[in-house]
Structure 1
Amino acid sequence: MQETSQIHHRRHVIGVIGDIPALLTFWQMFKDQSNDEALKEIGVVAAALPGETVLPEADDSGRSIPTYAGYKTMLDQHPEINMIIEATGRPGLVHELRNYLPPSITLVERNAASFFINLLTSDKVWVACKLDLLHTQNMLKTIIDQIDQEVLFLDHTGAVVGMNQVVVKRLALPKQDLLGRSYCEIFTDSSNGECEFTPDPFERAMSTKAPAEAMTSQVDKDGRVHYFRVYITPIFDEDGTVNHVVASRRDITLRTSMENRLQQAEKLASIGELSTYMAHEIRNPLFSISGFANSLMRNPAMDEKAREKLGIILDESKRLDKILKSLLNFTRPTAAEVREVDLNELVQTTMNVMSLPCANQNVTLQVNLDPSMAKVKANPDLIKQCLINLVKNALEAMHDGGKLFVTTSMNQDHAVLTVEDTGEGIPLDIREKIFNPFFSTRDKGAGLGLAQTQKIINEIGGQVDLISVEKVGTKLTLQLPPILAVAEDDNSG
């Protein structure tokens, strides 16, 4: 039996008056249509059956409810009752109750009781809808927060009204501090209020009522470039009006890198075909030009001005022949012998030679060699060529002097050779081009130094990594395949 104290603590302690059919009908309707929240406020403690034979105690989910032959007896036995529900609808009984009940007891007639029970039904539906809505909202929020790309919800002006957790974690700011900001400020870190997108995909989406996108790039604190694709999608009401806008930002750095490698491979294939043509169609007439120019230079009848012009022809012919040789060497597969190389020894020998150009340019050279370095699988002459290329590039970036660090180390998978300078750094707009063949920021040369370096390292199973910050410096890292113990075991077998 339920504790009486639990009933007393409810707001409404009820006694019900009615004949058996009315009481049973009311009681079933009350139990079916009430909800848990309503029942916490209501407790039925007794029932009266005027003119009826007293029934055994009613049962309410394990709690017995006593019944009485008259309502006066019920009230005497249960002074805690503060509400009477009259379930018969008999006018005489209602009139009698109005005259008998004290002001502390509220009388609820049958029609009024039915009305309030119907309200409980509406409340029950509302609670169910609310729970369903909360479940849907939580599920949607969980899905959006689990998406690995950044998602912003914008109003019609481009101001942020919501976001997923990826944005909050990246910026490390309270969510409340980000609301109301422009989406450009969140996605491009522009604090001057101007959007760097040209044209602005948000404005394009709002004007065309169609999704729009744009690409942007950022340099992180380590000097690495990240590429992002920003997507703007307008959300419409039933009448076709733009209600909100969803903006998302996806990191496409890896995809961009793969596309660049594919494009470079296609370029190399085209260069290979072109170099073969140039070797046959250009070098032969070039050889003739150089031969006749040399012959004329030996002619004593030539005056000084003519010799000067012939000298220019010879110099330019030699320069062109050098470019052709570089091009042919670049496009041919590296056929050099690959063997075991002591990287520390190679670096020390090479930098002993390069120390003089560093000193002449007022560049402080610091060489740090890891004594626990593994030997690498490569061609020593080609690795030396790569190192010289990187050092020359670093010296050209430090016209007014600076510091040059050449370091060897080991990571989990590779032997690492790093050349780092304190020069001008590489501008963002040309950073993705510097490994392209024939791209050069200098007036002289064919622009094959870094492209050749990358080609050599890639062919032996290594990779080249670039980090650069303008006005701070550049770090180029060559990751080389180490000699594995299992390879020695295989060879010895």
Structure 2
Amino acid sequence: MAAHRPDSSVEGDLDLGLAVQAVILGRVALLGLVTAMAMAFSGSPIGDERQFPFGFFLITVVGLALAYQRVFKSGGDSRNLLATQFLVDVATTSYLVFFTGGAESQFVPLYLLSPLLGGVFLSVGGGVLLAALSSLAYAGFYLAGRQGMMPTTPFGLMQGLGDSALLLRMLLYVPLLFVVGVIGGNLGRRLNEGRQALADAQAELNRALFDTESILENMSSGIVTVDADGIVRHWNRAASEIAACPVGAMRGRPYVDAFGPGLKEFTERLREALEQGTEGSRVAISIVRPNGTKVPLGMSTSLLRDPDGRRRGVIGLFQDLSDVRALEERIRRRETLAAIGELSAGIAHEIRNCLNPISGSVEVLQRELKVKGENARLLDLIVRESERLDNFIRELLDYARERPLKCETLDLDALLKDTVDVAQRHPSADGKTLRLTGQGGDVTVHVDSEQMRQVLMNLILNALEAVEADGRVEVRIDARREKPAARSHEMSPSLVCVEVQDNGIGIPTPEIELIFEPFYSTKRGGTGLGLAIANRIVERHGGAMEVESRLGAGTTMRVWIPRATSTARTVAHAA
């Protein structure tokens, strides 16, 4: 019989291995019992002559069992091992039948076991082959008895049948052996089909469970499921990241204990669903992470019911709304600023219409009238304040009316060098150290050179005005610094950071969030529009600005500027 390994999974191999061990142990138990019965009911005293066949038989059975077990543990093929056992079983049964009366032995029915088990564990063909071998052995004993060739050892286990009864018995047993082999084969086939169907169903269930688990784990929204007993059954990866609570600390615990005081509103929504059956669709709540960070959430709850409609638990779906809230705030701020800009532009236009005649008239008076003393000082004051007011109006109009960007590919290091050179000649730089450090090498950016120069100049002059007479201002490229995570989704994918650092008095923490607001200034005589304009220019480029400051330790302003694409760099170098 050729060995055949089915297309079964590991579970099928394990089942076959268990069958091999069961056959090995079952054989020893059965044949040991048969031997004991043969010796007990032989009807004659057990002498040495009678002990030897039974002893040899038992030793053979036990020895074969040990050999089978060793082959099995060494990794031998299970089907080949089973086939070998069933073939040897025909031989050991024939030996038992031989010395207990041949065709008249009461142990002839043991021949039925090999075809039956062969059919079940191997195939219909295996059962029929074993039936044929058993039939040949039985028929051989019958013919040997008819010819007087069987030994006459008196064991008392013979049925004492006549010739016609023995012939009838043989004619019945031989087809019965084949029928048993076929029945065993069909039974084995059905068992294998059932086992395979069960394995396929289990595999399909595992795939479904894996797909469901994979979908839940990879959702961007947080998911929590709580059963009717209040035990957290599922807490996916997104939920862990949003609430900063690890999966292991949540699953399998009562939800009132697992969530803690930071998730009080979260717990209340689940309790309402579990105890009152109240489902919530998109409720706005907030939680506090273990590090003290407050996070706004949008949460929905749905009840889990069995087919009879009884509540089995609740499922909660929630999302982190921090980015949404920040986006809403930025949109609201931009709308407000746009409205302020339009209003300011109108006011500035009217003021300039009035200012131009005043400043022009004063200049004419200065030329025509040779005033001296206090009158001359007053005229100079009018001219200076008119110029300052004109500068303010110009900045206000720059803020209100955005100039279109004319972007080009530039070498960032060269842009910074030119800006620093100009700033070093500004009156604010007298007696102070201003230098460009940490040069970035071959870093190209895609910007409007004039507007970006305005941004950098504004930051450098602010830094120079913030330091003492012997203060220090450094400008550098920090190409390795990562862009702000909170705003990265709005920014260009590839950015480079420029830092302007001073050792001035610093900015108080409450004021840091206000410095980019229009008309907010801590400088005496400042308009409060410089940083607002700079921030708007950078945002229009797809970049961002960030400030880091401590009182008494100075301030660092960071500007993320979009890098040039590889195509733009190639064109720039070719030019």
TM norm structure 1: 0.52
Indicate whether 1:332 and 2:347 are aligned.
Answer: no
- Do the aligned partners of 2:262 and 2:287 also contact (CA within 8 Å) in 1? no
* Aligned equivalent of 2:212: 140
Distance between the aligned counterparts of 2:228 and 2:427, measured in 1?
A: 61
Distance between the aligned counterparts of 2:348 and 2:354, measured in 1?
A: 10
Which of the numbers 262, 283, 291 marks the counterpart of 1:195? 262
1:395-414 equivalences under 5 Å are 405-410=474-479, 413=494
- Do the aligned partners of 1:373 and 1:409 also contact (CA within 8 Å) in 2? no
Q: Deviations over 1:42-62 (max 9, x none)?
A: x998999999xx999564324
Question: Greater CA deviation, 272-281 or 313-322?
Answer: 313-322
- The 3 A distance-change label for structure 1 pair 132 and 284 is same
Distance between the aligned counterparts of 1:450 and 1:174, measured in 2?
A: 42
Which of the numbers 408, 428, 450 marks the counterpart of 2:531? 450
Offset of 1:144 from its aligned partner? 1.6
- The 3 A distance-change label for structure 1 pair 173 and 259 is closer
Amino acid at match of 1:246: G
Offset of 1:485 from its aligned partner? 4.6
Offset of 1:148 from its aligned partner? 3.8
- The 3 A distance-change label for structure 1 pair 126 and 482 is closer
Which of the numbers 469, 477, 485 marks the counterpart of 2:559? 477
- Do the aligned partners of 1:184 and 1:196 also contact (CA within 8 Å) in 2? no
* Aligned equivalent of 1:231: 299
Distance between the aligned counterparts of 1:233 and 1:443, measured in 2?
A: 55
Distance between the aligned counterparts of 1:216 and 1:171, measured in 2?
A: 8
Which of the numbers 533, 543, 555 marks the counterpart of 1:463? 543
Offset of 1:165 from its aligned partner? 3.8
* Aligned equivalent of 1:346: 418
Offset of 1:268 from its aligned partner? 5.6
Offset of 1:237 from its aligned partner? 3.6
1:230-269 equivalences under 5 Å are 230-238=298-306, 241=311, 243-250=313-320, 253=323, 266-267=335-336, 269=338
Which of the numbers 284, 298, 313 marks the counterpart of 1:213? 284
Indicate whether 1:8 and 2:23 are aligned.
Answer: yes
3-state DSSP of counterpart to 1:372:
coil
- The 3 A distance-change label for structure 1 pair 7 and 481 is closer
Distance between the aligned counterparts of 1:318 and 1:139, measured in 2?
A: 71
* Aligned equivalent of 1:63: 126
1:413-452 equivalences under 5 Å are 413=494, 416-420=497-501, 423=506, 431=513, 435-438=516-519, 445-452=526-533
Which of the numbers 163, 167, 170 marks the counterpart of 2:235? 163
- The 3 A distance-change label for structure 1 pair 8 and 413 is closer
Distance between the aligned counterparts of 1:451 and 1:139, measured in 2?
A: 50
1:255-404 equivalences under 5 Å are 266-267=335-336, 269-284=338-353, 323-334=392-403, 342-350=414-422, 352=424, 367-370=436-439, 372-374=441-443, 382-391=451-460
* Aligned equivalent of 1:119: none
- Do the aligned partners of 1:440 and 1:446 also contact (CA within 8 Å) in 2? yes
Offset of 1:317 from its aligned partner? 8.6
Unpaired segments of 5 or more residues in structure 2?
4-18, 32-81, 94-105, 142-193, 273-277, 364-373, 375-379, 481-492
1:174-189 equivalences under 5 Å are 175-177=247-249, 179=251, 180=253
- Do the aligned partners of 1:350 and 1:384 also contact (CA within 8 Å) in 2? no
Distance between the aligned counterparts of 1:163 and 1:177, measured in 2?
A: 10
Offset of 1:267 from its aligned partner? 4.7
Cα-Cα RMSD: 6.4
Unpaired segments of 5 or more residues in structure 1?
16-39, 74-121, 187-192, 295-303, 305-310
Offset of 1:241 from its aligned partner? 4.8
Higher-Rg structure is: 2
- Do the aligned partners of 2:512 and 2:547 also contact (CA within 8 Å) in 1? no
Amino acid at match of 2:536: K
Distance between the aligned counterparts of 1:441 and 1:216, measured in 2?
A: 36
Amino acid at match of 1:455: R
Q: Deviations over 1:305-325 (max 9, x none)?
A: xxxxxx999999987765443
Distance between the aligned counterparts of 1:202 and 1:409, measured in 2?
A: 45
Q: Deviations over 1:221-262 (max 9, x none)?
A: xxxx99874534243445575823425444764x66766665
More strand by share: 1
- Do the aligned partners of 2:222 and 2:238 also contact (CA within 8 Å) in 1? yes
3-state DSSP of counterpart to 1:147:
coil
Distance between the aligned counterparts of 1:403 and 1:184, measured in 2?
A: 55
- Do the aligned partners of 2:509 and 2:550 also contact (CA within 8 Å) in 1? yes
Offset of 1:415 from its aligned partner? 5.5
TM norm structure 2: 0.46
Q: Deviations over 1:166-222 (max 9, x none)?
A: 566899997434555989998xxxxxx64388xx3543564453132346799x9xx
Offset of 1:329 from its aligned partner? 1.8
Offset of 1:479 from its aligned partner? 0.8
- Do the aligned partners of 2:217 and 2:236 also contact (CA within 8 Å) in 1? yes
- The 3 A distance-change label for structure 1 pair 137 and 372 is same
- Do the aligned partners of 1:409 and 1:415 also contact (CA within 8 Å) in 2? yes
Offset of 1:266 from its aligned partner? 4.2
Amino acid at match of 2:534: T
- The 3 A distance-change label for structure 1 pair 166 and 184 is farther
Alignment length (residue pairs):
378
Offset of 1:265 from its aligned partner? 5.5
Q: Deviations over 1:264-313 (max 9, x none)?
A: 6645653453234323445556779999999xxxxxxxxx9xxxxxx999
* Aligned equivalent of 1:29: none
Distance between the aligned counterparts of 1:5 and 1:328, measured in 2?
A: 93
- Do the aligned partners of 1:373 and 1:410 also contact (CA within 8 Å) in 2? no
- The 3 A distance-change label for structure 1 pair 210 and 170 is closer
Offset of 1:407 from its aligned partner? 0.9
Offset of 1:328 from its aligned partner? 1.0
